[in-house]
Amino acid sequence: GAVVSQHPSWVICKSGTSVKIECRSLDFQATTMFWYRQFPKQSLMLMATSNEGSKATYEQGVEKDKFLINHASLTLSTLTVTSAHPEDSSFYICSARIHRGLLTDTQYFGPGTRLTVL
Amino acid sequence: DAKTTQPNSMESNEEEPVHLPCNHSTISGTDYIHWYRQLPSQGPEYVIHGLTSNVNNRMASLAIAEDRKSSTLILHRATLRDAAVYYCIGNAGNMLTFGGGTRLMVKP
């Protein structure tokens, strides 16, 4: 099956610091990866769509200068939370899309990264 | 993406079948129906997807109504490990929009 990993699985940082989260597709190439955020007892909210070799597309209300996304290869996308504050504490989840040449494609999700900003 | 409606929660007994309903009355002709589930503190896990015909895989079955306005995810024998939030998503293309999902509780 398709496996997506994330690193780190959890991180605690001080307010004002930056945190980088990696998302890797381990056994397939993903031209498109997605970043989601999930607050406690809520559903997943899409933050941005990341395409290999081009700029990410951010959802409305998501600050692109705060959440930096880089998708430099077909198997790796990174999300950097810059100048993190306590309100950025959340569960960050990435997914990678397998393109099957159909009208829809399947996304496979990473295990998530829990960020706690003190 | 089609708007989907699911019950907030459902209960099942272990070893019994579970039928998780989803209404998607605004679904378009090219929208696929996807099901994912999420265990606590984990990323969502792909379960199944389909367009018009019923679909089966090793995890579950997906029964799609003839008018495509609703579908049912069927777990044939629920286990304690099936306790999760199940999301039904209608989409075409590459974006998934998650609703509230159904929290399935499995009683031993």
Give the distance from residue A20's alpha carbon to the nearest chain B alpha carbon, in angstroms: 18
The string of pLDDT tens digits covering residues B67-90 is 999 999 999 999 999 999 999 998
Residue A29's pLDDT band (cuts 50, 70, 90): confident
Helix (H, G, I), strand (E, B) or coil at A91: strand
Q: Which A residues, 51 through 90, put their C-beta within 8 Å of a C-beta on chain B? A: none
Inter-chain CB proximity B43 and A97 less than 8 Å: no
Distance from C-alpha of B98 to C-alpha of B90, rounded to nearest angstrom: 9
Chain B environment of A91 (Cβ under 8 Å):
41
Give the distance from residue B15's alpha carbon to the nearest chain A alpha carbon, in angstroms: 26
Inter-chain CB proximity A46 and B43 less than 8 Å: no
Q: In terms of CA atoms, which chain B residue is nearest residue A3?
A: B45
Mean predicted lDDT score pLDDT of chain A: 92
Q: In terms of CA atoms, which chain B residue is nearest residue A108?
A: B46
Distance from C-alpha of A16 to C-alpha of A24, rounded to nearest angstrom: 26
Q: Is A94 exposed, middle or buried (0-12, 13-18, 19+ CB in 10 A)?
A: buried
Weakest mean pLDDT among B35-39, B43-47, B76-80, B96-100: B96-100
Is B36 or B25 the better-scoring residue by pLDDT? B36
pLDDT of residue A109: 95
Distance from C-alpha of A34 to C-alpha of B66, rounded to nearest angstrom: 32
Inter-chain CB proximity B43 and A107 less than 8 Å: no
pLDDT of residue B21: 97
- Give the 3-state DSSP-derived string for A20-78, with helices as H, strands as E and coil as C: EEEEEECCCCCCEEEEEEECCCCCCEEEEEEECCCCCEECCCCCCCCEEEEEEECCEEE
Residue B57's pLDDT band (cuts 50, 70, 90): very high
Weakest mean pLDDT among A9-23, A54-68, B4-18, B84-98: B84-98
pLDDT of residue B1: 62
* Residue B58 DSSP class: S
